[in-house]
Structure 1
Amino acid sequence: MMLAAGVIPLLEMMISNSDSHGSATALYLNLSCHEDAKSIIGSSQAVPFLVQILQGEAEPQCKMDALHTLYNLSSKASHILSLLSAGIISGLQCLLAAPGDLEWTEKSIAVLINLASSKSGKDEMVAAPGLISGLATILDTGEPIEQEQAASCLYILCNGSEKCSQMVLQEGVIPALVSISVNGTTRGKDKAQKLLMLFREQRQRDQPQPPAEVRFQRAESSSKAMPSQESKPLCKSVSRRRMGKALSFFGRARAIRFTSVKLGNTCTVYVIVSEARVD
Structure 2
Amino acid sequence: MVHSFYEKSSSSGSDISGLFNPTLQTVGASNGDVANGGLSSSHSLVYESEKGELVKFSSAARVGKNEICEAKALAALKNHSEAERRRRERINGHLATLRGLVPSTEKMDKATLLAEVIKQVKELKKSAVEASKGFVIPMDADEVKVEPCDGSMSYSATICCDFRPEIISDLRQTLDSLPLHLEKAEISTLAGRMKNVFVFTCCKGNVSIDTEASQAVARTVHQALCSVLEKASASLDWEEKEEAAKEIERLAKEDEKVRELATELGVVTVLVSMALSDVASRRRVALKALIHLSYGNHKNKALIVEAGILCKLPKKIELEDESIREFADLLSSLSSLGNIQFRDSSLNFLQFLIDILKSCRSFDTKESCLVAMCNISTVLENAGPLVSNGVVPILLELCSEKGTSEKALTILGNLGVTLMGKKALENSSTVPKCLIEILSWEDEPKCQELSANILIILAHKNSTQINKMVESGIIPVLLQVALLGTSSAQKRARKLLRLFRDERQIKMAKHSGPHSSRIALENQRDREEGKRMMKSLVRESLHRNMEIITKRVNAGEDSSNGLKSLLTSTSSKSLPN
So what's the TM-score if we normalise by structure 2?
0.34
Check the 8 A contact 1:158/1:164 in 2, yes or no: yes
- State the shift of 1:44 in Å: 2.4
Match of 1:210 among 502, 512, 516: 512
Aligned ranges 1:30-49 → 2 under 5 Å: 30-35=333-338, 38-40=341-343, 43-49=346-352
Match of 2:360 among 57, 62, 77: 57
- State the shift of 1:133 in Å: 0.9
**For residues 19-44 of structure 1, what are the alpha-carbon distances to aligned partners after superposition, in whole Å with 9 as ceiling and x for unaligned?**
33222221111111122555248842
Could you say if the C-alpha distance between residues 214 and 45 of structure 1 is closer, same or farther in structure 2, counting changes exceeding 3 Å?
A: closer
- State the shift of 1:4 in Å: 3.7
Q: Which residue of 2 aligns with 1:192?
A: 493
Secondary structure of 2:500's aligned partner: helix
Q: Which residue of 2 aligns with 1:141?
A: 441
Could you say if the C-alpha distance between residues 38 and 130 of structure 1 is closer, same or farther in structure 2, counting changes exceeding 3 Å?
A: farther
Relative to structure 2, which stretch is displaced further, 140-149 or 125-134? 140-149
Could you say if the C-alpha distance between residues 22 and 7 of structure 1 is closer, same or farther in structure 2, counting changes exceeding 3 Å?
A: farther
Secondary structure of 1:124's aligned partner: helix
Paired with 1:27 and 1:37, the residues of 2 have a C-alpha distance of: 18
Paired with 1:155 and 1:8, the residues of 2 have a C-alpha distance of: 42
Check the 8 A contact 2:338/2:379 in 1, yes or no: no
Match of 2:416 among 111, 116, 135: 116
- Tell me, which stretches of 5 or more residues in structure 1 are unaligned? 216-279
Q: Which residue of 2 aligns with 1:93?
A: 396
Relative to structure 2, which stretch is displaced further, 79-88 or 47-56? 47-56
| One-letter identity of the residue aligned with 2:407 | K
Check the 8 A contact 1:116/1:122 in 2, yes or no: yes
Paired with 1:85 and 1:164, the residues of 2 have a C-alpha distance of: 22
Check the 8 A contact 1:42/1:79 in 2, yes or no: no
Could you say if the C-alpha distance between residues 6 and 32 of structure 1 is closer, same or farther in structure 2, counting changes exceeding 3 Å?
A: closer
Secondary structure of 1:154's aligned partner: helix
Relative to structure 2, which stretch is displaced further, 144-153 or 107-116? 144-153
Paired with 2:353 and 2:375, the residues of 1 have a C-alpha distance of: 12
| One-letter identity of the residue aligned with 1:130 | T
Equivalent pairs counted in the alignment come to 211
Q: Which residue of 2 aligns with 1:180?
A: 481
Secondary structure of 2:461's aligned partner: coil
Paired with 2:345 and 2:475, the residues of 1 have a C-alpha distance of: 38
| Residues 1:74 and 2:374 aligned together | no
**Bigger relative contact order (CA 8 A; separation at least 6):** 1
Q: Which residue of 1 aligns with 2:426?
A: 126
Check the 8 A contact 2:313/2:349 in 1, yes or no: no
- State the shift of 1:10 in Å: 2.4
**For residues 48-67 of structure 1, what are the alpha-carbon distances to aligned partners after superposition, in whole Å with 9 as ceiling and x for unaligned?**
21122222224211110110
| One-letter identity of the residue aligned with 1:131 | V
So what's the TM-score if we normalise by structure 1?
0.69
Q: Which residue of 1 aligns with 2:308?
A: 9
Secondary structure of 1:9's aligned partner: coil
Paired with 1:42 and 1:198, the residues of 2 have a C-alpha distance of: 41
**For residues 75-119 of structure 1, what are the alpha-carbon distances to aligned partners after superposition, in whole Å with 9 as ceiling and x for unaligned?**
11101110001111111022123x342xx1111111111111012
